[in-house]
């Protein structure tokens, strides 16, 4: 019923959001007579803020159409490699007429970025992808909003997620390098472990960034919530069925709007101050700050629904049973044994100030993967970085990325 109420509220607010943006323009457009009225800038700024607080946020585009390789401009085209009911595998193909740069691009390592399926769209990793494209051929998992997946396509469990990752690795070949960011560190490690146990070829490297490999270490608010509530509590209180106005009508999901509410509740003061600063920037005419705010919240406020089975499996396996670190995790009858990985180099990356995956949670992969030689294992902590800082922004580009790039390059054939 909560989902239906949310949809009703959204329908009611939609006309008001359009009215707010029209009024904001009425009081700010230079050719409007209202723009010269006393206090017009504040009125316009107020309605602009109301518009952003009441509008619906659609999935943003990656919008990566160009980049640089060795200082040379290259064109970039987003290509669809494979389609599954719950995921699309994308490639960012680079093009250039410069023969020397073309040869260099062909020789660069291939990277599969496994984006989180934890509320936000994979476009949250736009900066990650754009930076990687300087030195790599880049693929990424683009998870589908569960409310858009018809019931006829079946359920989607954590085991299915692992199966997707294994299939993508097989498709791209053993020379692929896998980078997992946040939530997928656990299923990616499981996928590669199972492949190693079965004697399959595994990726050249795997980079684990800010993920809950061992959620017992430095527990955060996210970890404590999972521990303080039973599995049944989550099933009865946060799982709802998709309303009739979506292709996935009737599917059980953890709704994106509830996940978004949780994100905001973790740092409410920060978001209030950010929106107040946005209002002041509009009044002052600080266009750069205004645009930066809009870009961030266009991404932050765009959320997706997660399949209920996958969400509940993750809560139980990762945050309640700690099955990976206890060695009790079984996927489709096969035990998950990270110690069986011997040929894939491991880099773990953490943010010093990460409030979602605490210190030591990702580094735990180093101890679990005891079969990997010391010379093929490395850990790096990004000083001063929070959760998002390890894969987006200045600290990612200037501190974390050089470590990732050099690690991948050092372990190619």
Same domain, yes or no, for 295 and 311?
no
Residues 203 and 320 in one domain: yes
Residue 221 token pair: 């608010």
Assigned domain for 258 exists: no
Residue 203 backbone phi and psi in degrees, to 5: -60, 160
Q: Are residues 220 and 181 in the same domain?
A: yes
The reply to whether 276 and 325 lie within a common domain is: no
pLDDT, tens digit (0-9, with 9 covering 90-100), for 134-153? 999 999 999 999 999 999 99
Pair 183, 117: CB distance under 8 Å: yes
pLDDT for 40 equals 87
The β-bridge partners of 351 are: 382
Predicted local confidence at residue 289, as pLDDT: 92
The answer as to whether 253 is a domain residue is: no
Domains of the chain: total: 2
**Statement to judge: residues 224 and 146 lie in one domain:** yes
Q: What is the pLDDT of residue 6?
A: 77
Together in a domain, 184 and 103: yes
Q: Judge whether residue 223 has pLDDT over 90.
A: no
Average pLDDT, the chain: 93
What's the whole-number mean pLDDT along residues 117-135?
A: 95
How many angstroms separate the CA atoms of 413 and 407, rounded? 13
In terms of domains, do 294 and 318 share one?
A: no
Whether 314 is in a domain gets the answer: yes
Same domain for 197 and 281, yes or no, is no
Q: What is the DSSP string of 54-81?
A: HS--PPPP----EEEETTEEEEEEEEEE
In a domain, 259, yes or no: no
Instruction: Among 300, 318, 349, give the residue marking a domain's end.
Output: 300
Domain around 355: 67-234+305-410
Please report whether residue 26 resides in a domain.
yes
Domain identity same for 52 and 74? no
pLDDT higher than 80, residue 265: no
How many CB atoms are closer than 10 A to CB 343?
15
Instruction: Give the pLDDT confidence of 36-85 residue by residue, as tens digits.
Output: 888 888 999 898 888 888 888 889 999 999 999 999 999 999 999 999 99
Alpha carbon 7 to its chain's center: 25
Same domain, 342 and 284: no
In a shared domain, residues 189 and 315:
yes
402 found inside a domain: yes
* Residue 254 counted as domain residue: no
């Amino acid at each position: 019923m909560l989902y239906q109420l949310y949809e009703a509220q959204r329908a009611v607010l939609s006309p008001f959001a359009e009215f707010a943006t029209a009024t904001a323009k009425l009081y700010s457009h230079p050719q409007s007579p209202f723009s010269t009225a006393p206090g017009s800038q504040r009125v316009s700024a107020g309605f602009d803020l109301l518009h952003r607080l009441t509008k619906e946020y659609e999935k943003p585009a990656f919008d990566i159409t160009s980049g640089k390789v060795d200082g040379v401009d290259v064109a970039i085209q987003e290509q669809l490699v494979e389609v599954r009911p719950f995921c699309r595998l994308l490639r960012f193909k680079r093009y250039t007429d410069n023969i020397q740069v073309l040869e260099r691009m062909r020789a660069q390592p291939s990277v599969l970025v496994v984006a989180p399926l934890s509320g936000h769209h994979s476009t949250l990793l736009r900066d990650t992808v754009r930076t990687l494209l300087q030195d790599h051929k880049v693929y990424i998992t683009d998870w589908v909003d569960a409310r858009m997946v018809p019931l006829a396509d079946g359920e989607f469990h954590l085991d299915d997620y692992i199966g997707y990752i294994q299939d993508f690795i097989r498709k791209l070949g053993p020379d692929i390098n896998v980078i997992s960011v946040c939530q997928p560190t656990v299923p990616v490690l499981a996928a590669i472990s199972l492949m190693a146990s079965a004697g399959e070829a595994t990726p050249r490297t795997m980079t684990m960034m800010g993920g809950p490999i061992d959620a017992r270490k430095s527990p955060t608010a996210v970890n404590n919530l999972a521990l303080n509530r039973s599995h049944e509590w989550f099933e009865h209180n946060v799982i709802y069925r998709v309303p009739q106005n979506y292709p996935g009508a009737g599917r059980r999901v953890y709704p994106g709007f509830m996940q978004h509410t949780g994100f905001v509740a973790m740092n409410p003061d920060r978001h209030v101050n950010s929106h107040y600063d946005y209002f002041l920037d509009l009044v002052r005419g600080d266009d750069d700050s205004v645009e930066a705010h809009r870009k961030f919240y266009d991404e932050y406020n765009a959320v997706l629904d997660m399949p209920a089975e996958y969400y509940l499996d993750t809560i139980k396996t990762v945050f309640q049973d700690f099955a990976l670190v206890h060695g009790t995790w079984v996927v489709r009858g096969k035990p998950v044994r990270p110690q069986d990985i011997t040929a894939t180099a491991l880099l773990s990356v953490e943010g010093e100030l990460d409030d979602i995956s605490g210190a030591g949670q990702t580094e735990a992969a180093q101890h679990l993967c005891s079969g990997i030689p010391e010379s093929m294992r490395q850990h790096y902590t990004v000083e001063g970085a929070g959760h998002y800082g390890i894969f987006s922004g200045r600290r990612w580009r200037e501190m974390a990325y050089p470590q990732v790039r050099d690690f991948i390059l050092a372990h190619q054939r």
